[in-house]
Amino acid sequence: MEPLQAITLGQNAITVTLLLSAPLLLIGMVVGLIVAIFQATTQIQEMTLTFVPKIVAVMLALLFFSSWMLIKMGDYTRDLILSIPDLIR
């Protein structure tokens, strides 16, 4: 395996990882921001108020995006397995 191929494999793995995690992280961030604004305006500083809505939102997003995520992971895995003969030359 040449160094360029190793770099390309690593780059593709990082790209797929970021692509798969982005929707869940963005939804968690948006819900966290909304809860923080709510806490600042009402001056309620309950710690569970920050975690429960984020967990629920991320779980719902996971249910919504799971089929897309599985397709993306399957495509990446298939492409990686099909490229094995080219990598070992």
The whole model's pTM is what? Answer: 0.80
Q: Are 84 and 70 in contact (CB under 8 A)?
A: no
- pLDDT bucket at 88, cuts 50 / 70 / 90: confident
- pLDDT given for residue 45 in this prediction: 82
Q: What is the pLDDT of residues 55-69, one digit of tens each?
A: 999 999 999 999 999
| Beta strand residue intervals within 1-89, DSSP E | none
Q: Looking at residues 35-45, what average pLDDT do you find?
A: 89
Q: Which residues contact 58 (CB under 8 A, 6 or more apart)?
A: 24, 27, 28, 31
Separation of CA 29 from chain center:
12
**Which one, of 24, 29, 13, lies nearest residue 66 by Cα?**
24
Whole-angstrom distance, CA of residue 42 vs CA of residue 34: 12
